[in-house]
C-alpha cells in the first residue's frame, strides 16, 4: 500500500464532517487503510483503463487538410447551382424555357429552383452532405441531358462538370461501411 495514498485519504477523511466512524470521532487509521485506500486505488485503476476519446460533437468540426478539395468542390457547386436556383425562383423566362421543351409542367421549374437553393445549403451540413450531392447530381444529369439534346453540345460541359463534382462530393462524404458477406 502506498503511504502517500494512505496519508492523502486520511487528510480527506479528517476534513469531512459527514464521514465519521461508529464511535463518532475522526476515522481511524485502520478505517483509512482498509476501506478508503483500496477504494481510491480501484477508482484510479478504473480511470487509467478507460480509453481517452475525443469529443464526438467537435470531431466532425475539425477538418483535416485532405478535406480541402471537398470543400472547394462544395463551394463551386454551391455557387453555380445556387445562382441557377435563385434565377429559377425569380421566374427568369430564359431559365424556364427548357422545361416545356422536355414536356414538363411550368411548376417543375420552381420545384427545381427550390431544390437548387436548398441543396447547396445542405452540402454544408455534414450528415446531409452526401445525400444533397446525390440529389444535385440527379438534377445535373437532367441538365446535361437537356443541353446535350437541345442545345449545342458545348453547353452541356458546365452541367457535366457539376455532375462530376457532385459525384466526387458524394464519394468523399458518404459514410464508409465495411463490406458484408
Hey, where are the domains in the chain? 3-49, 63-173
pLDDT digits (tens, 9 = 90+) for 111-158: 999 999 999 999 999 899 999 999 999 999 999 999 999 999 999 999
Q: What is the largest CA-CA distance in the chain?
A: 98
Alpha helices in the chain (DSSP H): 3-15, 29-31, 37-49, 56-59, 68-90, 93-96, 98-101, 107-123, 126-150, 157-173
For residue 142, with 0-12 CB atoms within 10 Å meaning exposed, 13-18 middle and 19 or more buried, which class applies?
Answer: middle
Instruction: Answer yes or no: is pLDDT of 20 > 90.
Output: no
pLDDT in tens, 93-103: 999 999 999 99
Per DSSP, the three-state class of 60 is coil
The pTM for the full model equals 0.62
| Per-residue pLDDT tens digits for 171-180 | 999 887 766 6
Judge whether 116 and 82 are in contact, CB under 8 Å: yes
Amino acid at each position: 500500500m502506498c503511504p502517500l495514498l494512505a496519508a492523502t485519504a486520511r487528510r480527506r477523511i479528517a476534513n469531512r464532517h459527514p464521514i465519521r466512524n461508529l464511535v463518532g470521532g475522526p476515522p481511524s487509521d485502520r478505517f483509512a487503510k482498509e476501506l478508503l485506500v483500496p477504494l481510491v486505488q480501484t477508482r484510479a485503476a478504473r480511470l487509467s483503463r478507460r480509453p481517452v476519446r475525443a469529443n464526438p460533437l467537435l470531431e466532425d468540426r475539425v477538418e483535416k487538410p485532405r478535406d480541402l478539395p471537398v470543400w472547394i468542390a462544395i463551394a463551386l457547386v454551391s455557387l453555380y447551382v445556387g445562382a441557377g436556383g435563385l434565377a429559377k425562383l425569380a421566374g427568369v423566362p430564359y431559365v424556364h424555357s427548357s422545361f416545356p421543351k422536355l414536356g414538363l409542367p411550368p411548376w417543375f421549374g420552381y420545384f427545381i429552383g427550390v431544390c437548387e437553393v436548398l441543396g447547396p445549403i445542405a452540402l454544408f451540413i455534414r450528415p446531409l452532405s452526401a445525400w444533397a450531392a446525390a440529389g444535385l447530381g440527379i438534377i445535373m444529369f437532367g441538365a446535361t441531358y437537356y443541353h446535350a439534346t437541345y442545345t449545342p453540345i458545348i453547353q452541356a460541359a458546365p452541367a457535366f462538370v457539376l455532375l462530376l463534382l457532385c459525384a466526387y462530393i458524394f464519394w468523399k462524404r458518404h459514410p464508409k461501411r465495411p463490406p458484408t458477406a
